[in-house]
Amino acid sequence: MSIWSKWAATFKSASLQAGQGGVIRRIFAVYVGVSLLLFALAAAAALWQSYASVTPKSAMKRMTASVSPQFFVDMLGLESAAMKREGESTFSHGKVGGYLAQMLLHVNPGEPKSLLASELPGLRGGREPGGQASPGVSSDAGKPGGDGEAPPSREAAGASSDGADAGTTGAGGQPPAQGQAASGPDGAAAPDPVPVGKLTTGGRKVVFVYHSHPRESWVPELNVQSVNEAEDAQKNVTLIGKRLADKLEEQGIGSVHSGKDYPTAVKGYNWNFSYKYSLETVKEAFAENKDITFLFDIHRDSAGRDVTTAKIGGSDYAKVYFIVGKKNAKWEQNEAFAKRIHEKLESEYPGLSRGIWDKGSGGHAEYNQSVSPNSMLIEVGGAYNTLEECYRTADVLAKTIAGLYWDAEKVNAQTTASNGGQAAVPTAKVASAR
């Protein structure tokens, strides 16, 4: 074979191999394209499912609720110099980029752990993207903040619990000895006796206040630097719960408060089982007080102070946020209960309520609310509020809850009379704890 024949054969072989390689590359490109298309379709389907049940009106409320009030102030500032404020504008490159990342990717650029939060529930400290704001109710749904799903960073079991475990007791307690003034958890005088002729529950305990995360505290009160350090065995949300129960007693509403400190009360304590522990506390309360009607699990949020604070009448108040767990099969009933409180608060103290968050399937998302349609998780303020601000809100919340209770009692009494002695709205009973 001549040299030219060898070169021709070699060239032909190389051409065949190149042709085969081109086919392989084309097959690979088609495979990658189909895979990307399938991923895109799956993402679109998931997004559609997430928003399918949201009406245009509620979707708009949800979107506007996800921006802070400063957003609208800065928007006006673009047109009016008088509305401009000091500091970084909401429309800076960094803030706009961060907002878009949160809305589209559910990732908070300022919180790297949010990248893993969807796969590791223990890291979830912000709102679930699957949740939604209740239609007709204002909400800060898109703001970063906790709903009781982020574990404390410090070793809870290592701290002292003196004074933190109040057990399960009547809010009013025993009357003080003659000449001796009783005091509350903050050193203030205990609730005054209910005046003669005032509406009372007649010794029946109809409200139970407790805490699934009893050590949640506040940055200013502990003189610490971050929300991750705002955990304490003594100065914590149990003080707010006690205040709420005491103020309810002043309104004639028999109340029971549990300040049980689970890190020290439970052997082998695990923060992830907090709601399991508190459910046992709820069961014990039901066993001891058959007339319990309302149940409140009091927490504090981890969002910034600008989100959790309202100025009313020249004073700062800790805003309240109602959390509804959608893992509860009858969550709509609990949502309706939260809406009643929210609307009454807003009618008398506009801006005090942040609204209602219908928590999706992520995290715990049940919050022991299946035990009663009148069971609610309430976040009072956040880690950057003060104890005094939370006390102000607890006082207002007590008046609101008392008003709702007495309104329900009046309706129940009228219905009972019209039905010949049979109550159609049994407000004094709840479903038994399971």
Q: What is the average per-residue pLDDT within 359-386?
A: 91
Compute the distance between CA of residue 409 and CA of residue 200 in angstroms, rounded to an integer: 11
Q: What is the average per-residue pLDDT within 310-334?
A: 96
Q: Does residue 70 contact residue 306 with C-beta atoms inside 8 Å?
A: yes
DSSP class of residue 24 equals H
One domain for residues 113 and 220: no
Q: Which domain holds residue 73?
A: 57-130
Q: How are beta strands 320-325 and 353-359 bridged, if at all?
A: parallel
The reply to whether 301 falls in a domain is yes
Tell me what pLDDT residue 196 has.
Answer: 44
One domain for residues 87 and 207: no
Tell me what pLDDT residue 360 has.
Answer: 80
- Residue 63: pLDDT band (50, 70, 90) is low
Q: Which residue has the tokens 């979830």?
A: 124
Q: Residue type at 434?
A: R
Of how many residues is the chain composed?
434
The reply to whether 45 falls in a domain is no
- What count of other Cβ atoms lies within 10 Å of the Cβ of residue 118? 15
One domain for residues 234 and 277: yes
φ/ψ of 334, rounded to 5, equals -70, -35
One domain for residues 124 and 196: no
One domain for residues 338 and 226: yes
Q: Does residue 242 contact residue 192 with C-beta atoms inside 8 Å?
A: no
**Per-residue pLDDT at 417 exceeds 90:** no
One domain for residues 86 and 231: no
DSSP string, 216-241: B--HHHHT-SSGGG-B-SSSSTHHHH
Work out the percent of the chain whose per-residue pLDDT is above 90. 46
Q: What is the pLDDT of residues 142-183, one digit of tens each?
A: 444 555 466 665 444 444 444 444 455 565 443 333 333 333
Choice among 233-242, 368-377, 378-387, 410-419 with the minimum mean pLDDT? 410-419
Q: Does residue 416 contact residue 424 with C-beta atoms inside 8 Å?
A: yes
Give me the helices (H) in 52-91, please: 56-65, 69-77
Q: Which residue has the tokens 């990658």?
A: 32
DSSP string, 353-419: EEEEEEE-SSSS--TTGGG-TTEEEEEEEETTS-HHHHHHHHHHHHHHHHHHHHHHHHHHHHHHHHT
Distance of CA 323 to the CA centre of its chain: 4
Q: What is the average per-residue pLDDT within 317-328?
A: 96
Choice among 186-195, 281-290, 303-312 with the minimum mean pLDDT? 186-195
One domain for residues 169 and 103: no
One domain for residues 81 and 199: no
The reply to whether 213 falls in a domain is yes
One domain for residues 84 and 191: no
The reply to whether 10 falls in a domain is no
One domain for residues 317 and 396: yes
The reply to whether 71 falls in a domain is yes
**Per-residue pLDDT at 309 exceeds 80:** yes
Q: Does residue 184 contact residue 240 with C-beta atoms inside 8 Å?
A: no
- Residue 411: pLDDT band (50, 70, 90) is low
Tell me what pLDDT residue 49 has.
Answer: 60
**Per-residue pLDDT at 314 exceeds 70:** yes
**Per-residue pLDDT at 349 exceeds 60:** yes
**Per-residue pLDDT at 291 exceeds 60:** yes
> How many Cα atoms occupy the beta-carbon half-sphere of 117 within 13 Å?
26
**Per-residue pLDDT at 371 exceeds 50:** yes
Q: What is the average per-residue pLDDT within 330-338?
A: 96
Residue 248 CB partners (closer than 8 Å, separation 6+): 171, 207, 254, 255, 398, 401, 402
**Per-residue pLDDT at 104 exceeds 70:** no
- What count of other Cβ atoms lies within 10 Å of the Cβ of residue 259? 24
One domain for residues 232 and 353: yes
**Per-residue pLDDT at 53 exceeds 80:** no
Model pTM score: 0.61
- Residue 186: pLDDT band (50, 70, 90) is very low
- Residue 236: pLDDT band (50, 70, 90) is very high
105 SS3 class? helix
The reply to whether 232 falls in a domain is yes
Residue 207 to residues 61, 195, 247, 258, 299: CA-CA distances in angstroms? 32, 20, 12, 11, 17
Partners of residue 375 on adjacent β-strands = 295
Residue 276 CB partners (closer than 8 Å, separation 6+): none
End-to-end CA distance of the chain: 92
- Residue 250: pLDDT band (50, 70, 90) is very high
- Residue 232: pLDDT band (50, 70, 90) is very high
Closest to 366 (Cα-Cα) out of 297, 307, 290: 297
One domain for residues 165 and 124: no
Compute the distance between CA of residue 308 and CA of residue 230 in angstroms, rounded to an integer: 16
- Residue 34: pLDDT band (50, 70, 90) is confident
- Token pair of 68, please? 């802070």
Q: How are beta strands 207-210 and 294-301 bridged, if at all?
A: parallel
**Per-residue pLDDT at 54 exceeds 70:** no
**Per-residue pLDDT at 422 exceeds 60:** no
Tell me what pLDDT residue 32 has.
Answer: 81
Averaged confidence pLDDT in the chain = 75
Tell me what pLDDT residue 114 has.
Answer: 56
Give the highest mean pLDDT range of 165-169, 395-399, 407-411. 395-399
The reply to whether 343 falls in a domain is yes
Q: How many domains does the chain have?
A: 2
Which of residues 112 and 96 earns the better pLDDT score?
A: 96
Tell me what pLDDT residue 201 has.
Answer: 92
**Per-residue pLDDT at 410 exceeds 50:** yes
**Per-residue pLDDT at 107 exceeds 50:** yes
The reply to whether 23 falls in a domain is no
Q: What is the average per-residue pLDDT within 220-227?
A: 95
**Per-residue pLDDT at 193 exceeds 60:** no
